[in-house]
Amino acid sequence: MLPSGFRASQRAIVFDLDGTLVDSVPDIHAAAAAFLIERGLQPLDLATITGFVGNGVPMLLERVLRAAGQDADPQSVAAALPRFNAIYGAAPAALSRLYPGVATALARLGEAGFALGICTNKPEAPARRMVKDLGIAGFFAALTGGDTLAQRKPDPAPLHHTVALLGVAPDAVVYVGDSEVDAATAAAAEVPFVLFTEGYRKTPVEAIAHHAPFSDFAILPEVLARLAATAVPRP
């Protein structure tokens, strides 16, 4: 249960996906390895691929190509993108797993009356397949992917779009993510940001602007309750 007397009313929580709800790097790493092997190249290690995640697939692929010693100009990335998307899209959740406590936390938040959404830089089709395959699609009333709009995070447009789909006021939203990109997105959208500290961030927690941190989804409802009970200054 959430804290006594706490109930969301016309409020929403929007989540990032990769590194926030789902540890998805194993599938991204497998897709990148298969892509490079097809080209006669050596796969990159898991840690390297983890460092490439967060800015969308085109940027990921640019970094993969560059790290493999290949041309990584916009034309080369655009030419390679359909094949990479096909490899990854065939099984985006085969190796991915929810972080511990995610499903329970989502259920508690839904029962408390929050509208829930996802705003991710992962392309929309594999994002939808991932949440379906991992059994959490039913919790979400909206999902915006990295190719849903012309803009991607940290541009605030995808988060604003998700909020509009949820039908709540912009000042009734909290964004939950794991990275510098997510923090910048929340700041640009002028919404509070809650940082999941166990994801794919590249810098120390204290270097990322946030209103509240958490490392365990079991405490997320209480973190959100405390945030809702206080005036939220900008980070």
- Side-chain-side CA neighbours of 154 within 13 Å: the count stands at 15
3-state secondary structure of 176: strand
16 is catalytic: yes
Residue of 217, 179, 194 whose CA lies nearest to 53: 179
Cβ-Cβ contacts under 8 Å for 32 (sequence gap 6 or more): 43, 44, 49, 60, 64, 84
Cis peptide before 3 (omega within 30 of 0): no
For residues 200 and 179, the answer to whether their CB atoms sit within 8 Å is: yes
Which backbone phi and psi does 91 adopt, to 5 degrees?
Answer: -160, 70
Catalytic residues: 16
